Structure 1
């Protein structure tokens, strides 16, 4: 499994919230409690996206464009930058900015997960809320700026059409289908975003290198293995010195430094999401000695594994 696939598999969406809005201008929606990652696209018409807590210019989405919004700050989606704020959504509660009430019938359910007026000339928008948590989620979100726009393309458009079709259905297993359809949109959008080498992380660019891409795959497939630089070099058919230099140049850090960072990411998520002891987590990520794992973890996270677990999951008993 390649690095991006591994990362997405471990940090995949669960209980995705997908909604379709069909409405004529002027309209404006502010989301006050945004999830870690939001996917917004227009299927017809256009929309404007702006971050209310970040000093960035609003961006315009044409039909088929995708906006990836990271971070928990407020963001607003509207028909135009000049449209004044109308509605603030907190969780699943809608609040009108001017205290007014929406006209009866102006926004109604048009089908499963679909709301609006349904009149000709309306913008059709999809919004998917991604609940990605933990260090694995942070590593994935670190690939992106607060607001990334991916222009419409044949592959992403086909995936969006699938997501829109499934969002309008209500059959057994639909939540699981929507989770995976949103995953597909995200993967294709990330591919398109990272196609520009000036903005892709080093490890992503290194995936296209036969030797270094293979080495990264090996590290992700078996992070608990007792890897050495010489052993990795031998597996990819390079000398130790040439491999270490090329890995560092392409990825941005030496092989074992990258491995340690990945092990700490996995360890942090295991501490957060399971009741495994620190010793068991240490063994899973390649440390026979829990003390050595604790030292590496504290160097990486600033606190011991037990202290980190208490902070991340209040109320969980200390499991050495």
Structure 2
């Protein structure tokens, strides 16, 4: 059961963003809670990951911070309280430009999947709020076994640092691959205690049945048969492993698949409804609106473009009283 691949498919319906950020004048930045997932990759200098309720964590070049479900956090040049950091400024989409040179203690690549509708997939919500992995293999006790990740970082930095043909296709693919490698490395480090136990063959069988044939009219009885368990035992173990009851997971999977089909195909609503297990487009539309807060047609028409650019953040002028702004 390849949960990492399923996670990537689920978050692709979000708005993809990528930036190279240099907090200027030794400042850091505070990132408020958002609907989605993202990561920071330290590429220059050193800094600290700060949160609301945990001790600061020192970060070096090659360290990657994954925010699995949009938890609030900050990056700072020194340990501090998260509320002491200026907020990350909202920035409109801009074409990629070379980074502006200026004083900065550190720089990092930022990649995000922002979900305008719906919720972060259950599997990502089951992870710790913030995960730190490293691709720096010069440190003691860290063997060089993730050269692929370092190559991805180089490619991603090149894409956000200059205007190139094909960026619209390259950036989403690179962000997908970075997330895949971060999750792989976290698993290899043995820290995946909160991840659903797909080594449970019975639950994996039920998940595979749902994923392979979402249009089938599944019931708890049919899924428990696929898992080879009694209904009561299956329902209890499924909820413990996956984090929600079987039918709730089934609905979420169907609607997530429907969202991807709305984004990636020109299929009619009736065809998509049948593909994901709904008898009519009206039944699908009602369920979709309840989950995503928008009609399927509205979701299909909403922008799915990514944001790119290399931005330098500056302090407000003396007495300005405003938050730092993005400067193109």
TM-score normalised by structure 2 residue count = 0.62
Counterparts of 1:191 and 1:255, CA distance in 2: 26
Query: Kindly tell me: are residues 73 and 139 of structure 1, through their superposed partners in 2, closer, same or farther at Cα, counting changes over 3 Å?
Result: closer
SS state at 2:153 partner: helix
Offset at residue 148 of structure 1 (A): 0.5
Match 1:173 to one of 166, 169, 179: 166
Bigger drift between 160-169 and 214-223 goes to 160-169
CA distance in 2: counterparts of 1:112 and 1:291, whole angstroms:
45
Give the match for residue 103 of structure 1: none
Task: Report which of the two structures shows the higher radius of gyration computed on alpha carbons.
Answer: 1
Counterpart residue number, 1:189: 182
Contact 1:271 1:309 in 2 (8 A): no
1:209 aligns with 2:200: yes
Q: Under a length normalisation based on structure 1, what TM-score does the superposition of the two structures give? A: 0.64
CA contact (8 A) 1:18 1:113 kept: no
Answering whether residue 152 of structure 2 is matched by residue 162 of structure 1, we say yes
Q: Confirm or deny that 1:151 pairs with 2:142.
A: no
> Are positions 1:309 and 2:298 aligned together?
no
Match of 2:62 in 1: 64
In structure 1, the partner of 2:4 is 4
Matches within 5 A, 1:1-320: 2-12=2-12, 15-19=16-20, 21=22, 26-30=26-30, 36-51=36-51, 54=52, 57-69=55-67, 75-82=73-80, 85=85, 89-91=89-91, 113-117=98-102, 123-135=106-118, 137-139=120-122, 141-145=124-128, 147-153=129-135, 158-168=148-158, 170=162, 171-193=164-186, 195-200=190-195, 204-205=196-197, 207-228=198-219, 231-232=222-223, 238=228, 240=230, 246-266=237-257, 282-288=273-279, 297=287, 301=290, 308-309=294-295
Q: Do the aligned partners of 1:34 and 1:75 also contact (CA within 8 Å) in 2?
A: no
* Alignment check: 8 A CA contact 1:282 1:289 kept: yes
Task: Check whether the contact 2:238–2:244 (CA below 8 A) recurs between aligned residues.
Answer: yes
- Offset of residue 276 of structure 1: 7.9
Give the Cα–Cα distance (whole angstroms) in 2 for the partners of residues 89 and 156 of structure 1: 33
- Matched residue, 2:139: none
Q: CA deviation at 1:161?
A: 3.9
How many residue pairs match? The answer is 283
Larger displacement relative to structure 2 (211-220 or 285-294): 285-294
Distance 1:213 1:285, change over 3 A: same
Structure-2 change in CA distance of 1:136 and 1:230 (3 Å): same
Pick 1 or 2: higher relative contact order, CA cutoff 8 A, min separation 6: 2
Is the 8 Å Cα contact of residues 186 and 192 (structure 2) preserved in structure 1? no
1:40/1:66 contact within 8 Å kept: yes
Aligned counterparts of 1:132 and 1:281: Cα–Cα separation in 2: 21
